[in-house]
Structure 1
Amino acid sequence: MSSRRKLRLGLAAYGTGWDLDAWRLPEVTNSGLRDPSVILDIARVAERGTLDYVFAGSALGSEPDRLNRIYRWDNFVYAGHAAAVTSNLGFVMSVNSSFEHPYAVARQLATLDNFNRGRTALNVVFGIDRDGDPLGNFGKNPVPTEETKYARAREFTTVVNRLLYDSWDDDFLLDDKAAGVLVKPGSWHQLDFHGEHFDVRGPLNVPPPVQRHIPIVQVGLSEESLQYGADLAQLRFSPYFGISRGKEEYRRLKERVAASGRDPEKFKIIPGITFHLAGTVREARAKFNEINAFQLTQALPAAFSQALGIDLSRVRDSERVLDVIDIEKLADDALKPLLSDRASDATDDRELLRHILSTQIGEDATLRELYHYVQRSRHAQQPAVVGDAKTIADWLEENLEEEVLDGVQLFPPYHRGPADLFVDLVVPELRRRGIFRTEYEASTLQGLLDTDDVY
């Protein structure tokens, strides 16, 4: 079924991919921790597939014992480098308003947007309670409290926007050689901002950005964070809630944006997924189970036995789930303590277990494979979508048509391979269905995402 609504698609670039265990596969390239060409390839692949943007998340804490926190390339440096080998692809920059200063960030944004000719977006995060002790890395730099970080984020965003768009007139460059006047008199404007958190004179000492408004991304679940997004952002990186709850959350957020006096169609809701793709569903599930098997487990724990209602100490973990468990006798909310977030519309745990077996790990899955899936789900920050090109395209189309999302941020589990497979297999399928572009239709990221100018 074709659709007039078009997906927005982004691709995440991390040195070893997103999955915490997939790096152990024999075919995986892990040199991305030292070799920038690995995630430069992500940008090239994304542009080959006419995706909207690449996102390279940042981190300020020091956690050398956690794979998803070590060796986070500075995303501004990465984007500047990758922009030089691409022509249309956008780049989403992450900054933390609780630690960083708006004048310095505005300089980086304006420089990057000029260098890449309008392909920049800004992801503002304001958490100060992240693991890895970011406070310890910033010394006496003033940091807000949990109660004041939202006010600081709003002030930070206001100052960044005013520096970007109010510092200079568009025709500031006079370049009158005869008269000896390079910059048009009166074309620059001091900001003279004095707030609770920042004092900034201005103007910005970098030319204004190419885009009319660099899109701003909002993340977070708190009431203050959601309202920040409705008032000041153009995109939301959202959790995925499943179809039924996702439709309700989508509707509520669009209504919140409209209540702020804005066009909700210009505000895009984009959850993230980790995709496990292969030529066939069987191959994709086999690879997903191979990754799951890297989790170190000496024995299935008592909590898992209790959840399933059987004594697993008397059962080999290589037994098929369906040979050991009578799903009809599974207790209500049996798996709820083990699965922290349900990204499906299962009404009870019997239906949830059937969903896991039929769509994720296969009906021949063993007890150990089920346990590994449960363990991964507890710690995942987004759902895993496992299957062939049709499976993944079906998932994307259904969620788009049901108005659960406006686009998806794709997290390759490892490098190299998954990103290329998505572009080679899934993108053509999405194009055949009429829900994704065949070529870039705008020269700026704001144009590609169709966002507004509100700030």
Structure 2
Amino acid sequence: MSERRKLRLGLAAYGTGWDLDAWRLPEANNAGLTDPSVILDIARTAERGLLDYVFAGSALGSEPGRLNRVFRWDNFVYAGHAAALTKNLGFVMSVNSSFEHPYAVARQLATLDNFNGGRTALNVVFGIDRDGDPIGNYGKNPVPTERTKYDRAREFTTVVNRLLYDSWDDDLLLDDKAEGTLVRPGSWHQIDFHGEHFDVRGPLNVPPPVQRHIPVVQVGLSDESLRYGADFGQLRFSPYFGISRGKEEYRRVKELVAANGRDPDKFKIIPGITFYLAGTAREARAKYNEISAFQLDEALPAAFSKALGIDLSAVRDNERVLDVVDVDALADDALKPLIADRARNSADDRELLRHVLTDKIGEDATLRELYRYVQRSRHEQQPAVVGDARTIADWLEENLEEEVLDGVQLFPPYHRGPADLFVDLVVPELQRRGIFRTEYEASTLQGLLDTDDHH
């Protein structure tokens, strides 16, 4: 019997967690906005659970009005400190190729990879239309257009790679005290890169990284972005499309990688999920509903009346959905404008509504709870997976076996609690099923992720 495929798991490190409302829970600790110890502790939790890496997304704009972007710690400084508190955990560094310079980034990457013993990955983003006006923070620094940002990203990554891997020979240190020669003559090389966006002489003034190739992460949905990933990437932070479409997207991306003469099995596709976990499925749904109760769009009841073809104006919000709505009588596509649930990519809205009621908010859910669920699903950037350890393990196992994904980026909704519960409850369940490691099997991040297809 062949060995089962293993999940790759990363944990997001944000000061208040990912959910835009969960910070209001009585038990939520929001000190992470100003107290570095909170996200440093997330790294310890991730390593305790044998996870592959932590990801602390960077931001260049100033957005004091948005919870997840009030403050963003510099991820290189964070990773440098957190690496000293861990032994095996990897760190994914985000940089924006539309604003940052490849020489400075290569210096940071090579330094970090040497200091942490080869536990670094690079997430290259190239959006220039981010909220918070990053252009306003960078003054007259040349910024590409929407049309040219992909060319700049390619050039940026080419220069970073050449600086990291072509600047120095491995045997650069001669240390000949008798002859007075410290660095081996001829062991360094100018890269002399001259492109449309960058002119870089080289060599890099930092030793080569420990890893043979620091994994590069690709994000984005455009064809240009996917081609960039097939050319330069080892991982893709992907949206979650559901089982059916997800399988198609998985195959499409792997085929792009294979068409470049690369091993598609070494390229990992990793969507993100926000997980709402408790000891029982009922407790998890109750916590999800408690978080959802913090906000409500009063326009939703009218929108539901129109979609369902039922006058809900005279119906109390605390009525059970199933007592008011005849699910079997729903018209096709009735709820599609309202429920964008990518976790169940079904053309049948009747099945979709049953899935939401059964798996997400409970069959006893009221209309008000359904309204809240719909509003939350509109602003979540990945699916909400709600349930006990077995439910979440089932979701992960099914998507792994169906070849929808190679791993998952985990976004705790708040701190503390969810990340620890995942490590204490879900990780042992995944280990029992043989789809997650029981010990770290490599000393570098490219070894843990199994991404090295460079020969």
TM-score (norm 1): 0.98
Partner of 2:115: 115
Matched to 1:176, the amino acid is D
Partner of 1:306: 306
Partner of 2:278: 278
CA deviation map 1:297-316 (0-9, x unaligned): 45644223212222222111
Partner Cα separation in structure 1 for residue 45 and residue 340 of structure 2 = 33
State whether residues 167 and 189 of structure 2, in contact with CA within 8 Å, keep that contact through their aligned partners in structure 1.
yes
Aligned to 1:110, the other structure's residue is in SS state: helix
Give every structure 1 segment of 4 or more consecutive aligned residues whose post-TM-superposition deviation is greater than 3 Å.
296-301
State whether residues 16 and 23 of structure 2, in contact with CA within 8 Å, keep that contact through their aligned partners in structure 1.
yes
Partner of 1:332: 332
Partner Cα separation in structure 2 for residue 259 and residue 297 of structure 1 = 47
Is 1:23 aligned to residue 23 of structure 2?
Answer: yes
State whether residues 300 and 317 of structure 1, in contact with CA within 8 Å, keep that contact through their aligned partners in structure 2.
no
Partner of 1:172: 172
TM-score (norm 2): 0.98
- Where does the alignment leave 5 or more consecutive residues of structure 2 unmatched? none
Partner Cα separation in structure 2 for residue 3 and residue 399 of structure 1 = 17
Aligned to 2:390, the other structure's residue is in SS state: helix
State whether residues 269 and 407 of structure 2, in contact with CA within 8 Å, keep that contact through their aligned partners in structure 1.
yes
CA shift, 1:132, in A, is 1.4
Is 1:44 aligned to residue 54 of structure 2?
Answer: no
Matched to 1:329, the amino acid is A
Partner Cα separation in structure 2 for residue 316 and residue 299 of structure 1 = 15
Partner Cα separation in structure 2 for residue 24 and residue 395 of structure 1 = 27
Partner of 1:14: 14
Partner Cα separation in structure 2 for residue 47 and residue 330 of structure 1 = 47
Trace 1:175-324 onto structure 2 (pairs within 5 A): 175-298=175-298, 300-324=300-324
Is 1:397 aligned to residue 397 of structure 2?
Answer: yes
Is 1:72 aligned to residue 72 of structure 2?
Answer: yes
State whether residues 3 and 433 of structure 1, in contact with CA within 8 Å, keep that contact through their aligned partners in structure 2.
no
CA shift, 1:128, in A, is 0.5
Partner Cα separation in structure 2 for residue 348 and residue 443 of structure 1 = 47
Query: Could you say what the CA RMSD is over the residues aligned between the two structures, in angstroms?
Result: 1.4
Name the stretch that deviates more: 371-380 or 330-339: 330-339
Is 1:441 aligned to residue 448 of structure 2?
Answer: no
Aligned to 2:428, the other structure's residue is in SS state: helix
Partner of 1:428: 428
Partner of 1:450: 450
CA shift, 1:265, in A, is 0.4
Name the stretch that deviates more: 69-78 or 437-446: 69-78
CA shift, 1:87, in A, is 0.3
Partner Cα separation in structure 2 for residue 80 and residue 292 of structure 1 = 36
Partner Cα separation in structure 2 for residue 113 and residue 225 of structure 1 = 26
Matched to 1:172, the amino acid is L
Aligned to 2:410, the other structure's residue is in SS state: strand
State whether residues 17 and 412 of structure 2, in contact with CA within 8 Å, keep that contact through their aligned partners in structure 1.
yes
Partner Cα separation in structure 1 for residue 339 and residue 141 of structure 2 = 39
**CA separation of 1:369 and 1:59: change in aligned 2, threshold 3 A:** same
State whether residues 300 and 368 of structure 1, in contact with CA within 8 Å, keep that contact through their aligned partners in structure 2.
no
Q: What percent of counterpart residues are identical?
A: 87
Partner of 1:142: 142
CA deviation map 1:12-45 (0-9, x unaligned): 0000000000000000100000111111111000
Partner Cα separation in structure 1 for residue 394 and residue 73 of structure 2 = 34
CA shift, 1:365, in A, is 0.6
Is 1:151 aligned to residue 151 of structure 2?
Answer: yes
- Where does the alignment leave 5 or more consecutive residues of structure 1 unmatched? none
Is 1:61 aligned to residue 78 of structure 2?
Answer: no
Aligned to 1:312, the other structure's residue is in SS state: coil
Partner Cα separation in structure 1 for residue 16 and residue 429 of structure 2 = 27
Is 1:130 aligned to residue 130 of structure 2?
Answer: yes
CA shift, 1:346, in A, is 2.1
Partner Cα separation in structure 2 for residue 2 and residue 259 of structure 1 = 27
State whether residues 235 and 268 of structure 1, in contact with CA within 8 Å, keep that contact through their aligned partners in structure 2.
yes
Partner Cα separation in structure 1 for residue 388 and residue 261 of structure 2 = 42
State whether residues 2 and 433 of structure 1, in contact with CA within 8 Å, keep that contact through their aligned partners in structure 2.
no
Partner of 1:358: 358
Partner of 1:382: 382
Name the stretch that deviates more: 334-343 or 278-287: 334-343
State whether residues 272 and 408 of structure 2, in contact with CA within 8 Å, keep that contact through their aligned partners in structure 1.
yes
CA deviation map 1:52-92 (0-9, x unaligned): 00000011111111112111111111101100100000000
Partner Cα separation in structure 2 for residue 348 and residue 367 of structure 1 = 20
Aligned to 2:313, the other structure's residue is in SS state: helix
Partner of 1:348: 348
Partner Cα separation in structure 2 for residue 296 and residue 77 of structure 1 = 38
State whether residues 232 and 454 of structure 1, in contact with CA within 8 Å, keep that contact through their aligned partners in structure 2.
no
Partner of 2:98: 98
